[in-house]
Amino acid sequence: MKRVRNVLLSLVAFTALIFFPPAARARIMSENLDNLRCGDQLVELGQTQLEVVHLCGAPEISDTYYVVNGSLDRWTYNMGPEDFIYVFTFINGQLRDILQTDRGF
């Protein structure tokens, strides 16, 4: 049963590579993570923006959105061609989500 599931997931991924443009593939093939290594340091959900900058450096792209209950920040890190692009989401300065998207460049 597990093998059938893995084959089906591989087929879906292959189909996405062929038929969907890169932006759509990133949404389909993305993965949420609980933690991420920046060099030899571990970034985990719940850390502050200051802690993440200390561990990973400044993001390549930073967007801030102001909402009723505070702020939402999205930081994008391109870890290079041997790794992926990661999007960190902070709510009121605290890391709430790490999203792994397409291959870096």
- In this predicted model, what pLDDT tens digit does every residue of 85-103 receive, in sequence order? 999 999 999 999 999 888 8
What pLDDT sits at residue 31?
A: 67
Which burial class, exposed, middle or buried, applies to 55 when counting CB atoms under 10 A from its CB (0-12, 13-18, 19+)?
Answer: middle
What pLDDT sits at residue 44?
A: 93
More reliable by pLDDT, 33 or 72: 72
The pTM of the full predicted model, rounded to 2 decimals, is: 0.68
Q: Are 86 and 99 in contact (CB under 8 A)?
A: yes
pLDDT at 69 over 60: yes
Radius of gyration of the chain (CA): 16
Condensed to tens digits (0 to 9), the pLDDT of residues 24-48 reads 444 445 667 777 888 889 999 999 9
Q: Which CATH architecture has domain 31-103?
A: 2-Layer Sandwich (3.30)
